[in-house]
Amino acid sequence: MSKVAGRKKRIIITTAALVAIGGGAAFAYWTAAGVGDTTTTAGTSTNFTITSTVAGPALSPNGSAQTFTFTVTNPGTGVQKLTNITAAVAGTNGAAWTSVTGCSKDDFAVGSPSFTATEIPANGYITGTVTLQMIDRPGVNQDGCKGATVPLHFAAS
Amino acid sequence: MSGRRNTSSPESPRGFRRGLVLFQRLLGRGALAGIAMVLVALMGATAASAYWTAAGTGSTTAAVGTLAPPTNVTVPANSTSSVPVAWTASAGPTVPTGYYVTRITGATSMPACGSSPAALITGTSCTDSSAPEGTHSYVVTAVHRSWTAVSAASGNVLVWSMQSATFTVQPANVVAGQTLPAVKVAVRTVDLLPVMSARVTLAIGNNPGGGTLSGTVTADTDMTGVATFSGLSINKAGSGYTLTASSPGVAGAVSAPFTVTAAAASRLVVAGPASGTASATATVGPFTVQRQDSFGNPVTAGSTEVTLASNSAGTRVFAATAGGAPLTKVTIPAGAASASFFYGDTKAGSPVITGAATGLGQATAQVSVTAAAAAKLVFGQQPTNTAKGQRITPVTVLVVDQFDNPQTTSVASVTMDKTVKQGNLGGTLVQNAVAGVATFSDLTINPAGVHTLIATSPGLGSVTSAEFTSGG
């Protein structure tokens, strides 16, 4: 009687362990039918936040470039994948920059952002860099750009 | 039951018990395989993870530098066709590649200094050598690649191509030291247009009297292009003076000649030889006593009687001619500025001759009178009383001219003797004069008694001393 009970115990324990460890593993099961309804709230993505710092001398035609170090942060509660980042001379909302007469995005060259596309865990972040240089446009009066404040707009996806 | 594993309770039906045994065997083998499969799955497979995709934006700004304009663009107020332009370099970290200069005439701007956006000047000055006549200003543009920065305009520069200056009012004859009537000089362009604000300077051209032009000798032309000079004067008389007018870029103009005459006489001046020899007649000269104004110009107007005098202690004499009849006055006649005279003095020394006339400053002149030729001997230190046979205090004999002025250059040989022949005069009895003085230091005399000494020199005669005694 005790031997039979011991074997039962091992079987039960083993089965329980298999269920506990290998929940996803294929296992022999019976099929059954049944219906039931309930509801749950699905999660959603949260916009990345992008901040940056800049280093380098003030821009001038064909002068030294400024290097921006940007930080993309995932403020959400789940993993979010960062696939692409773009940078352009544009207004805050990405619209064309027209606030300085005689100076436009055409007077500047934005380099390709340097970063690693990756999944960013909740509250995690990655950093990257991008350069901005003023172009010397012979024959074009670029005096309008003197002393200008040039907006650089980032977009992450 | 022995040898077989009990897989069920004895109370179970036989068939059911056989089934359980079979199940147990199958379960034992299957469990091992299942566990192995689960472990393999857990250890070797990558777990599939889920993520969301998201988007985001951000903005920042970049500062653009600037190019400061050059400052302090300067040009002269007036210039000929060449205009020097200078400026201060742009300040700040952006250093200009260079500058170009623009000349602004009214509403017209023209490149200047041979510069342009394609031909920059790297320094901070240039010369606009082809500026046309007119009033211009200049701006300087700094260039740094596509950037430019324009300075504020310089002050105005008046550019003209001058032909010459001309005296429109000539200098007139004037008395020395008195103000010339206003002299005017006009400066005209090649088109005979008046040039305003041109600096004109006057100077003496032909200067027959060695005079000095006093007063304000520079003036700027007025609206009519004329510079007026008032308050000028010349201090020396002369005939044929001219003035010259000059201005930058202008060929000098020369005035018509004019005369400067002496002012009124105010003093006498005596000039003549500085030295002469003693003489009883007026042999030193000629001296000239001149009538002058306060600037030293000789005055020929009027006649002036001049009284002559000397402070000499000797016998002094004046004469109109050398050795002529003595006189005490000479006259400067009208038409002449001076009179001459000779002076004689028997006393060697440095007398002061004066010439005086009413209303004029007295003239003085000092003359050095030296002794005439050696003519005789005189005792300087006479022999003194002494004991018989003892050395007499040194006795000196001087060589003098005819007026007893020591002939200090004489080296004549002088011989000493005594007038009473008996007895002996001992010591060195022949001495050569030194600076006109012969000294006898070791004379002795015998016998006791009253004696006199006699000194002689060839050509100078002899001289006898005073008496002295030699004691017993």
| pLDDT tens string B63-73 | 999 999 999 99
Range of the domain at A65: 49-156
What are the Cα distances from residue A6, in Å, to A13, A65, B7, B9, B366?
A: 10, 78, 11, 13, 164
- Within-domain flag for A22: no
**Range list of H helices, B228-358:** none
Label residue A84 by pLDDT band (50, 70, 90). very high
Average pLDDT over residues B102-122: 92
What's the CATH class of domain B267-370?
mainly beta
What is the torsion angle, in degrees rounded to the nearest 10, for the CA atoms of residue A94, residue A98, residue A100 and residue A103? 90
| pLDDT tens string B337-352 | 999 999 999 999 999 9
| pLDDT tens string A39-65 | 555 567 889 999 999 988 999 999 999
What ipTM did this prediction achieve?
0.74
Q: Is B403 a residue whose pLDDT tops 70?
A: yes
Cα–Cα distance for residue pair B416/B425, rounded to 1 Å: 9
CATH hierarchy code of domain B162-261: 2.60.40.10
Query: Residues of A with CB below 8 A from B41's CB?
Result: 22, 24-25
In this structure, what CATH number is given to the domain that contains residue A148?
2.60.40
CB distance A94–B56 less than 8 Å? Answer: no
Residues 6 or more apart in contact with residue B243 via CB below 8 angstroms: B167, B171, B183, B202, B203, B204, B205, B213, B254, B255
Measured between CB atoms, which of B53, B56, B60 is closest to A54? B60
Instruction: Supply the pLDDT for residue B79.
Output: 81
The SS3 of residue B81 is coil
Rg, Å, chain A Cα set:
29
CB distance B51–A44 less than 8 Å? Answer: no
- Within-domain flag for A42: no
DSSP-derived secondary structure for B349-370:
B--EEEEE-TTSBPEEEE-EEE
Contact (Cβ atoms closer than 8 angstroms) between residue B183 and residue B167: yes
- Within-domain flag for A107: yes
Domain range summary for chain B, segments of one domain joined by + = 1-29, 71-159, 162-261, 267-370, 376-471
- Within-domain flag for A127: yes
Q: Which residue has the tokens 């750009």?
A: A145
Query: Residues of A with CB below 8 A from B58's CB?
Result: 49-52, 70, 153-154, 156
Q: Is B144 near chain A, with CB under 8 Å?
A: yes
User: Which of A49, A132, A134 has the most B C-beta neighbours within 10 Å, making it the best mutation to test the interface with B?
Assistant: A134
pLDDT above 90 coverage of chain B, percent: 69
- Within-domain flag for A2: no
Name the pTM for this structure.
0.49
Kindly report the nearest CA distance between residue A130 and chain B, in angstroms: 12
Measured between CB atoms, which of A27, A61, A93 is closest to B145? A61
Label residue B295 by pLDDT band (50, 70, 90). very high
Instruction: Supply the pLDDT for residue B32.
Output: 52
- Within-domain flag for A145: yes
Contact (Cβ atoms closer than 8 angstroms) between residue B356 and residue B365: no
User: Which of B57, B90, B144, B148 has the most A C-beta neighbours within 10 Å, making it the best mutation to test the interface with A?
Assistant: B57
Instruction: Supply the pLDDT for residue B24.
Output: 56
- Within-domain flag for A128: yes
Measured between CB atoms, which of B59, B61, B146 is closest to A141? B146
Instruction: Supply the pLDDT for residue A139.
Output: 83
**Residue B275 identity:** S
Label residue B11 by pLDDT band (50, 70, 90). very low
CATH topology of domain B71-159: Immunoglobulin-like (2.60.40)
Q: Tell me A105's DSSP state.
A: G
Kindly report the nearest CA distance between residue A115 and chain B, in angstroms: 15
Q: Which of residues 96-115 of A touch B (CB under 8 A)?
A: 103
Q: Is A21 a residue whose pLDDT tops 50?
A: no
What is the tally of structural domains in chain A? 1
Closest-approach residue (CA) in chain A for B52: A80
Q: Is A65 near chain B, with CB under 8 Å?
A: no
Closest-approach residue (CA) in chain A for B67: A146
Average pLDDT over residues A94-112: 93
Q: Does domain B376-471 have CATH number 2.60.40.10?
A: yes
